[in-house]
Amino acid sequence: HSKKMDAQRRAPRIVAGERKRSAQESADKLRGVHEERLSEARERREEAADALRNDAEIRVSLPHTAVPAGRTVLSLRALRPRYGRLREGDLHVHGPERIALVGRNGAGKTTLLRTIAGTLPALSGEATAHVPLRFLPQRLDVLDEELSIAENVARMAPGVSDQEIRSQLARFLFRGARAAQPAGTLSGGERFRAALAATMLAAPAPQLLMLDEPTNNLDLASVRHLSGALDSFQGALLIASHDLAFL
């Protein structure tokens, strides 16, 4: 009889023990999920803080973009682009000159840049770049969405080591694992920074950089990042823009 009583007493104890164990496992699981979410949130907060921090400037070293003062960088001779108002355009750019291309919409600024870049044939005359040139269009379609930021840069900088690319990308504020993010997942400001990095870090190093309305749709932090990157560039610049404060 007492054996039966003991067994009855033990049964609820075993059930209670099982319940306690499964409750503990659930709590552990939840804690694991919670900690994972916490660390993700912390990471996101750090990224946001990185972007907002006043010292989050792009300070990249680009010595190979330097152009000697006397060097002819670009020659336009009697150029008439396919669209726009330019007729018989002549221009000679020497050394690290910085030229703003201004004019109303439809005047042909983008067409001129595309003609110089060689993606649009001229109606007549010629445009000759005498140094390596890179063009960052307004559409930022220099990025392959499927590839990571680092892979996008590597595609445009053949022969440059992965280590060098990653160290330069850190200066474009893509540190560590962030350089491995696929381009298709980037926010607007990050996307612009990645396209700018791929353009400026290309090999051979561009000594003429052309930008089309680069500050369109950019937030203030991104405009600051762009200005910092262009401060580091030592070659010639040709920029089409309506943004006089930026120019």
Question: pLDDT per residue over 95-124, tens digit each?
Answer: 999 999 998 888 999 999 999 999 999 999
Average pLDDT in the chain: 89
Look at residue 54 in the predicted model and tell me its pLDDT: 47
Task: Give the whole-angstrom CA distance, residue 227 versus residue 225.
Answer: 5
Task: Give the whole-angstrom CA distance, residue 235 versus residue 120.
Answer: 24
Q: Which residue has the higher pLDDT, 2 or 117?
A: 117
Task: Give the whole-angstrom CA distance, residue 59 versus residue 61.
Answer: 7
Q: Say what percent of the chain tops pLDDT 70.
A: 88
| 230: helix, strand or coil | helix
**Is pTM beyond 0.85 here?**
no
The residues spanned by each domain of the chain are: 1-43, 56-247
Q: Which residue's entry shows tokens 């060098």?
A: 164
| pLDDT exceeds cutoff 60 at 43 | yes
Task: Please name the amino acid found at residue 122.
Answer: A
CA dist 68 → 62, 129, 165, 171, 184 (Å): 14, 15, 26, 25, 38
DSSP bridge partners of 124: 80
pLDDT digits (tens, 9 = 90+) for 159-200: 999 999 999 999 999 999 999 999 999 999 999 999 999 999
Task: Give the whole-angstrom CA distance, residue 67 versus residue 81.
Answer: 27
Which of the four pLDDT bands, split at 50, 70 and 90, describes residue 235? very high
Average pLDDT over residues 5-28: 70
pLDDT digits (tens, 9 = 90+) for 129-144: 999 999 999 988 899 9
Q: Which helix (H) or strand (E) holds 7?
A: helix 2-52
Judge whether 100 and 215 are in contact, CB under 8 Å.
Answer: no
Look at residue 5 in the predicted model and tell me its pLDDT: 62
DSSP bridge partners of 100: 239
CATH class label, 56-247: alpha beta
| pLDDT exceeds cutoff 70 at 29 | yes
Look at residue 46 in the predicted model and tell me its pLDDT: 65
Judge whether 195 and 134 are in contact, CB under 8 Å.
Answer: no
| pLDDT exceeds cutoff 70 at 52 | no
